[in-house]
Amino acid sequence: MPLPSEPLLKLGFLTIGLFDGDDPRPGHESTLEIIELGERLGFDSAWVRHRHLQFGISSPVAVLAAASQRTSRISLGTAVIPLGWENPLRLAEDLATVDILSGGRLNPGVSVGPPIRYEHVRAALYPDTGDVEDFSYQRVRRLLDLVRGEPAGVGGSEGFEVFSERVQPHSPGLADRIWYGGGSLRSARWAGEQRMNFLCSNVVQAENADGSPGFAAIQHAHVRTFRAHHPDGAPARVSQGLVVIPTDNATARQRAKYAEFARMRAPRTAVPQGPRGLMFALDLVGTSAEIAERLYADPVFREVHEVAFALPFTFEHDDYVQILTDIATVLGPALGWKPAVPST
């Protein structure tokens, strides 16, 4: 078991990027400002969530393209892009383009399965092919192959037009930075076999009727399974994502708000939720010293070297500034992390 003295090597954060549907620009601008702040604070990575037909980021690749031009060092990730909404070839082109623009800083996270509320969006999303679309792992395999440079067409020339066999632009190294967001033993094993990186979130699938042995033990089994089937074994990259809210420099109003947020969400952590038996981790709210103690009691945290702490999705910009600043200046150092050196 790693000791608390062993340092956390990479510290990141995740944001959903909420906005007002009647005035969406300020919310998008706030997301970009938060990413810029993350770079100034020395965070290693900034991740954005993906939301369709909601008031969150619907096009994370476009948002990260903008972020790539306002930052110079911080890694930029998606956690995660649900591939059921995407054409793998077109997504491969977009990812490679943004990776080139960012100087090789993109870390795409993906997942599979039918789109959420598929029965309501199928007619708009796949009006002609909705009944035959393949939402299996094969959709990820197509993306991986295309990003790695496998043939997508026939090269050659027609008049003045020159065609490439593979997706253009091609970004060497991008395939090694693709992550799979998994919450089951099956997905953990598959991601390892595909030589991907593995994103753990605050949601897992309880694969037995009563939900035991509990969230932490289930997620720990996922990490162990992933690494057991990855060619790199123990060094294979795993990033843990939990909702973490330090209160060291929060105002009294903010502390009350954060406590109420966690209290309202706590009941869902008691038993598996919904037909898939989803289990949720408790939100970690408190001083950085208190949070560090709870993290070191987590078997998954003790096995990873990088995290992407999730920002609550209903807070205000000033709340995010306080939370990120406390994570970078108080909690991170308490975990042995050192901020990245600013680019010159």
Work out the average pLDDT over 177-198.
Answer: 97
Q: What is the mean pLDDT of residues 219-224?
A: 96
Higher pLDDT, 131 or 274: 131
Residue 28: Cβ-neighbour burial (10 angstroms; 0-12, 13-18, 19+): middle
pLDDT at 215 over 60: yes
Residue 212: which pLDDT band, with cuts at 50, 70 and 90? Answer: low
Task: Give percent above pLDDT 70 in the chain.
Answer: 96
Residue 222: which H helix or E strand, with range?
helix 215-229
**Average confidence score pLDDT of the chain:** 95
Say whether pLDDT at 128 is over 60.
yes
Task: Quote the pLDDT of residue 274.
Answer: 86
Q: Which residue has the higher pLDDT, 262 or 344?
A: 262
Evaluate if pTM is beyond 0.75. yes
CA dist 146 → 80, 90, 112, 163, 250 (Å): 19, 10, 17, 15, 46
What is the SS3 assignment for 118? helix
Instruction: Give the model confidence (pLDDT) of 267-323 as tens digits.
Output: 989 888 888 889 999 999 999 999 999 999 999 999 999 999 999 989 999 999 999
- Would you call 199 helix, strand, or coil by DSSP? strand
Chain segment 226-248, per-residue pLDDT in tens: 999 999 999 999 999 999 999 99
Query: pLDDT (tens digit, 9 = 90+) per residue, 46-63?
Result: 999 999 999 999 999 999
Q: Is the CA virtual torsion 78, 295, 238, 99 positive or negative?
A: positive
Question: Measured between alpha carbons, how far is 71 from 103 in angstroms, rounded to an integer?
Answer: 11
In degrees, rounded to 5, the angle at the alpha carbon of residue 9 between the alpha carbons of residues 329 and 323 is 30
pLDDT at 342: 67
pLDDT, residue 140, reads 98
Residue 343 pLDDT greater than 80, yes or no? no
Q: Which amino acid is at 284?
A: L
What 8-state DSSP symbol labels residue 97? Answer: H
| Residue 254 CB contacts under 8 Å (≥ 6 apart), including other chains | 247, 319, 322
Average pLDDT over every residue of 96-123: 97
Tell me: pLDDT of 2 over 60.
no
- Give the residue-averaged pLDDT of 242-261: 98
302: exposed, middle or buried (Cβ count in 10 Å: 0-12, 13-18, 19+): middle
Which domains does the chain possess? Answer: 10-152+166-334 (3.20.20.30)
Mean pLDDT, residues 53-82: 98
